[in-house]
Amino acid sequence: MSNPAEKIETTPETTAVAETPAAPRLVPTESPAADAPPARRRSRIRRKLLIAALPLALVVGGGYVWATGGRYIETEDAYVQQDRVSVMPEVSGQIGRVAVAENEQVTAGQVLFTIDDATYRNAVEQAEAGLASARLDVERLKAAYAQAEAEAANARDTLATAVTQDDRQQALRTSGVISQSAADDSALRIQIAKGNAAKADSAVLSAKAALAGNPAIATDSHPEVLKALATLHAAEIDLRRTVVTAPADGVISQTDRLQRGQYVTPATTVVSLVATGQAWVEANYKETELTHMQPGQPVEVRIDTYGAQALKGEVASIGAGTGAEFALIPAQNATGNWVKVVQRVPVRIALDAGQDVPTLRSGMSASVAVDTGHARGLPGFVTAALSAVGLGGATAVAGDK
């Protein structure tokens, strides 16, 4: 059997290829490039370590921040509060003079407006006249008492004289000098004298009662005079109330109803006064944020109007109930479509005295941060794991301050 290779036809191209000498093979020699593979391996390992270290550092750093965080509880649901006083007149009448304007700063005792006082001045004059009349009446009662005393004394003397005469008449009748009828007339005079004496004593008692049982009572201590004095004082109080003054330092607002000639009554709010003497911040915190909050803890307050300026304060008190409990129409949760909603509790923040507090206006928005001194700490499973490996001390990374 013939070899197939012997049947291959020879062509000029194949002949040229066959005749071309083989190219010499290059044998690699040792050079610095021989160290390249280990360097590349080290670079790859370093790169992998860096890639793994970045998320690990983020996890560790984030965990540390979370564990040591939670000490400061912040909210932006906070507003400046100031006392608001509704100024109402205490007497009725027409407004006579207006002494303030809208948004005017006033001080305690400053006149706001006056009420026409003609009627009240007349009432004072009538009360003064009534007092004078009562004093005169007391003097008349004292004179009447003195007269009753004199008449009682006279009646007693008359009775004594009648008794003496009757004794004499009875002795003469016994001797037969006078008749029985003359003796009877003497006895009758005694009875009349006794009646007059009793009547005089009764008049004395009546005059004494009119003087409150004390004939030597001072005129201004008599009940009738005291009544007249009370009437006069009431009239004078009403007269003073015709001048309405500011109850405290503050800013006047809502003066649109303060018009001259307008009739006002004690039940009418004429103007409002925002007291600027004391301001506080009411922060509404979620109920889940009150676990470690207590009165007296330090607070940092930033008023939105004054941005970067931080004010110092402290937690003055924590509300007795949530805002929903004190709403005009509280929510009724005893229904079939109840949905649990985190409630907010008002927390009153008192600003520290002595610091440079800018002008505050009621209703300004604020940001409040309360330092509770208590961090979140490590989660329970992490604490257990660290304790299991003997690193229990690491659990104190974020504990109570």
Quick: pLDDT tens for 214-244: 888 999 999 999 999 999 999 999 999 999 9
Structural contact between residues 223 and 212, judged by C-beta atoms closer than 8 angstroms: yes
Phi, psi torsion values for 48, nearest 5 degrees: -65, -40
Q: What single string gives the DSSP state of each residue in 47-84?
A: HHHHHHHHHHHHHHHHHHHHHH--SEEEEEEEEEEEEE
Q: In whole angstroms, what is the distance from residue 247 CA to residue 241 CA?
A: 13
Using 50, 70 and 90 to split pLDDT, how confident is the model at 190?
Answer: confident
Q: String of b and e for 41-53 (b: at least 16 CB within 10 Å)?
A: eeeeeeeeeeeee
Q: Which tens digit of pLDDT belongs to each residue from 95-115?
A: 999 999 999 999 999 999 999
Q: Please give the CATH architecture assigned to the domain spanning 89-116+242-264.
A: Beta Barrel (2.40)
Q: What is the pLDDT of residues 334-373, one digit of tens each?
A: 777 778 888 999 999 999 988 888 889 999 999 999 999 8
Q: Describe the strand order of the beta sheet including 243-245 as a list of residue ranges.
A: 243-245, 111-115, 93-98, 263-264
Lowest mean pLDDT across 25-34, 75-84, 297-306, 377-386: 25-34
pLDDT digits (tens, 9 = 90+) for 55-99: 877 777 776 665 666 788 999 999 999 999 999 999 999 999 999
Least-confidence region, from 36-40, 140-144, 325-329? 36-40
Sequence-ordered strand ranges (E) for 322-398: 344-351, 365-371
Over range 199-228, report the average pLDDT.
90
The DSSP letter of residue 29 is: -
Using CA atoms, how far apart are residues 160 and 157, in angstroms rounded to an integer? 5
Number of other residues whose CB lies within 10 A of the CB of residue 345 = 20
170 has pLDDT over 50: yes
- Asked if residue 297 lies in contact with residue 289, where contact means CB atoms within 8 angstroms, the answer is no
Please list the residues that pair with 95 across neighbouring strands: 115
Give me the pLDDT at residue 68, please.
61
SS3 state of residue 113: strand
Q: Which CATH architecture has domain 68-82+276-333+340-398?
A: Beta Barrel (2.40)
pLDDT tens digits, 316-325: 999 998 888 8
